[in-house]
Amino acid sequence: MINFLASKFIKNYNDTENPQVQSKYISLSGVVGLFLNLFLFASKLIVGIISGSIAITSDSFNNLSDSLTSVIAILGSTFARMPSDEKHPQGHGRLEYIASLLVGLSIMYVGFELFKKSIDSIKNPQAFTFSILSIAVLLASILVKIYMYKYNNDLYKRFDSSLNEGVAKDALNDVIATTGIMISGFVSQYTKFNLDGIAGLLISIMVFKTGFEFAQSTVSILLGEAPSEDLYDELGREVMDSKLIRGYHDLQIHNYGRGRVLASLHAEIPYDLTIIEIHNEIDEIERRVLEKYQVDLVIHMDPTYSIKEGKTSEKNTRLIDLSGNDQDREKIKEAAEKIKSGGLVVMPTETVYGLGADGLNPDAINKIFQVKNRPNDNPLILHVGEKDQVEKLVKSIPDSAKLLMDKLWPGPLTIIFEKSSLVPDEVTAGGPTVAIRMPDHKVARELINLSERPIAAPSANISGKPSPTNAIDVYQDLNGKVDIILDGGVCDIGIESTVVDTTTKAPKIYRPGYYGLDTLRELIGDFEYDGALVKEGEIPKSPGQKYKHYAPEADLYLFSYELNDQVKKMKEAFDEYTSMGKKVGVLVFEENLGAFSGEYIVSMGSKADLREMARVLFAKLRELDRMGVEIILAQGVEEKGLGFAIMNRLKKSSGGKIISND
Ligand code: TXA
Ligand code: MG
């Protein structure tokens, strides 16, 4: 019958691949179901009253509740099409839920009344006549419901429609219920047990339950139900499919009823896109989401420290964006091939970006020194992907080193060993020791493992400048000078690894970093700090100690933590330099921002969050340089915990221009 009606009422009824045709099939099945149920309701109500059977009467209401749910489904799409007006800018889609709630409550009421009648009938069984007519009507009802089960199940299988699945299940329940009534009718007629009241009771509970579930499902939507996880995932995937979008956050979905779903999210985009480019892209995504999911999406854009994918400068540096998905592996493989053939690849690590080359290839290592303009008496760190890669690079692994590797690797800790003959002199600047680190960053480790050799990598900046902690800062220093820059977002830690020497009797820290003396002493009691800036003419144990480092172009004045009236003194200096006509930048904690007013006042986050300060420090110094300031006034922190490493960097940036009490 459905197919016959379809051929009459549905245009292109054969084109069942077409979603519009599918939805017409589904609507048609609803209309057919509505009429069949109304027919069953009327005929059973009449038979129920004539025969005096509460069970048959209850069953008729069971069918009525089914037809009412179809009415609501049909009304729902009508409400959704009603245009919005001034008072209801989101349209009238939610009317469907209000209607459903009322219908659900009415069905519950009917179920309750039938329940009471059934109880009465159990208490005082009434004789009823189980006539041929009753039998015929019940039999017809069973056949109709079997038919409804069949065509709904068929549509469910063809179009995967959950609406039809629900109706099919319901029809099957009705077949069982009506069969039960038939049996109870026969039993009551031919034995002395009158089961009519009990059958009525069971059916009334079914009716009540239908109403309850119907009302309940709409109540939670009316209250503002969370949209399905699937929709969140699907919208997220749709957005991330874009080549230009690096990430997203704060995805919100508001449901105002069928066809009226609003969503918004913040998309993270490379900083160097033109407004036109990103606008076109966002428009395109919004249009696609509307078409595919009928969701009205609004995308807000957040520029990030990343660069447009695939942009190749005329100088042939390739930028590769890694977004954390499956395609990354292929891209990293390409970079690993570059390493193997002696090229230069910048890789993200958890501390800072590293300028990587094959750690066993002297020519490749020499290129690093050239590109960075690095003094060649300053040795490099070899990066390994797994702990067992250390063995062949060193003469032996002292117990203290073993312990540190066990507890703190992978992580921001570099360990100095006696080198094996495999390690070229170019890495160690001719020295007998080699520094090794296993970074805690998926991309770095994958690159090393795919390259099948240790990667020598100093920080990816021109020597003397602050280390880069994001791809833009790398790009500024090294565009055109390296083969590939792998863009892995912002580095989590932000300052370089702690460098420790385990070849000496008591292990020593040469360069403070994320791990301070306190942490290391918890593992090995007699750790020492040996990080004094080396004086002219002396030979440093770790050559890195002797250079002025991390310095912005501007002159940086560091206001020490112990300084009385630290912020007030900074403010005085700010006013003085400003009145001299200088362009003055200020680097302060959020809590002290209010003390300054000017164009180049930059926050390092809250005083209470030194991790944040470490994360942003180098990037902010570079930002101030880009703003073109001549002087930077920086607020010092207490030299404790991570503050010790931070102050080590700031002191070097200042080149000794430290304002303290004496
Ligand atoms: O977090 C880091 O360590 C980053 C990322 C990329 O891993 N790398 C880094 O490398 O900061 P670089 O080259 O900028 O700093 C290496 C430091 C220098 O101070 C150097 O003097 C010291 O390690 N170093 C390297 N080999 C040494 C050795 N054999 N003996 C003493 N010091 C050494
Ligand atoms: Mg460096």
| Cβ partners under 8 Å of residue 297, min gap 6 | 235, 262, 263, 264, 265, 285, 286, 289, 290
Q: How far is CA 200 from CA 120, 181, 192, 193, 446, in A?
A: 11, 8, 18, 14, 69
354 lines ligand 1 (CB under 6 A): yes
Q: How many residues are present in the chain? A: 662
- What residue's CA is closest to ligand 1, atom 19? 544
Per-residue exposure over 31-40, b if at least 16 CB sit within 10 Å of its own CB, e if not: ebbbebbbeb
- Which atom of ligand 1 approaches the CA of 545 most closely? 19
pLDDT at position 258, please? 62
> How close is the Cα of 447 to the center of ligand 2, in Å?
20
466 lines ligand 1 (CB under 6 A): no
Q: How far is CA 240 from CA 184, 229, 247, 323, 356, in A?
A: 60, 16, 7, 9, 29
- Which atom of ligand 1 approaches the CA of 374 most closely? 13
Ligand 1 test: best mutation among 413, 445, 542, 648, most atoms within 8 Å of CB? Answer: 542
The identity of residue 268, as a single letter, is: E
pLDDT at position 45, please? 94
- Which atom of ligand 1 approaches the CA of 513 most closely? 1
Phi and psi, residue 185, nearest 5°: -60, -50
- Which atom of ligand 1 approaches the CA of 437 most closely? 7
Question: What is the C-alpha to C-alpha distance for residues 587 and 634, in angstroms, rounded to an integer?
Answer: 5
Block residue for tokens 């008496």: 377
pLDDT at position 635, please? 97
pLDDT at position 77, please? 63
pLDDT at position 544, please? 58
pLDDT at position 536, please? 40
Question: What is the C-alpha to C-alpha distance for residues 382 and 457, in angstroms, rounded to an integer?
Answer: 7
- What residue's CA is closest to ligand 1, atom 18? 544
pLDDT at position 421, please? 96
> How close is the Cα of 578 to the center of ligand 2, in Å?
32
550 lines ligand 1 (CB under 6 A): no
pLDDT at position 535, please? 41
H/E run at residue 406:
helix 399-408
Beta-sheet strand order (sheet of 354-358): 318-321, 484-487, 345-347, 354-358, 455-456, 381-383, 433-437, 413-418, 498-501, 508-511, 528-529
Question: What is the C-alpha to C-alpha distance for residues 498 and 28, in angstroms, rounded to an integer?
Answer: 71
435 lines ligand 1 (CB under 6 A): yes
> How close is the Cα of 99 to the center of ligand 1, in Å?
71
Block residue for tokens 């300060």: 613
394 lines ligand 1 (CB under 6 A): no
pLDDT at position 540, please? 56
| Strand, helix or coil for residue 47 | helix
Q: Which residues of the chain have pLDDT under 50?
A: 312-314, 533-538
Question: What is the C-alpha to C-alpha distance for residues 106 and 571, in angstroms, rounded to an integer?
Answer: 73
User: pLDDT (tens digit, 9 = 90+) per residue, 363-402?
Assistant: 999 999 999 999 888 999 999 999 999 999 999 999 999 9
- What residue's CA is closest to ligand 1, atom 10? 458
Beta-bridged to residue 394, according to DSSP, are 419
Question: What is the C-alpha to C-alpha distance for residues 468 and 90, in angstroms, rounded to an integer?
Answer: 48
Ligand 1 test: best mutation among 467, 496, 508, 546, most atoms within 8 Å of CB? Answer: 496
Identify whether the C-beta of residue 405 lies closer than 8 Å to the C-beta of residue 446.
Answer: no
Per-residue exposure over 200-217, b if at least 16 CB sit within 10 Å of its own CB, e if not: bbbbbbbbbebbeebbee
